[in-house]
Amino acid sequence: MQTRLYTLLLILSLAVVTACSLGEEEDPLLVFKEIAYNALTASEKASLVIDWEDAAVEAWLDGNYLVIFRTTEDATLGPIRVVVDPDRGVAVEKLTRP
């Protein structure tokens, strides 16, 4: 009887551990995308053609990240590019649009 109890507890423990680890993996760069998005003006946010969570992220100078947002004005102004400092968790600069 005691062996069955231990077996049942083991199965339940494994089920709980497995259920907790089956969630979606979060994009590790999502926090930098959010920092960059929050640095945009209301009109810049309105011009985005994709969800801010789908923005491209590239390595940049001095360990910073470059977050690139596609907009309705890409053909004439180019995308919006925001430099984010991962250590301080702030948008350092919004680059001029080419």
Counting other chains too, the contacts that 61-70 makes at CB distance below 8 Å and 24 or more residues apart are: 63/87, 64/92, 65/29, 65/32, 66/95, 67/32, 67/33, 67/35, 67/36, 67/37, 69/36, 69/37, 69/40, 69/44
**Residue 17 lies inside a defined structural domain of this protein:** no
Q: Is the pTM of this model over 0.85?
A: no
**Residue 14 lies inside a defined structural domain of this protein:** no
Share of the chain above pLDDT 90, in %: 69
* Residues of the domain holding 39: 28-95
**Residue 48 lies inside a defined structural domain of this protein:** yes
**Residue 36 lies inside a defined structural domain of this protein:** yes
**Residue 6 lies inside a defined structural domain of this protein:** no
Quickly tell me which residue has 């470059």 as its tokens: 66
Quote the mean pLDDT of the chain. 85
**Residue 82 lies inside a defined structural domain of this protein:** yes
Domain count along the chain: 1
**Residue 57 lies inside a defined structural domain of this protein:** yes
**Residue 11 lies inside a defined structural domain of this protein:** no
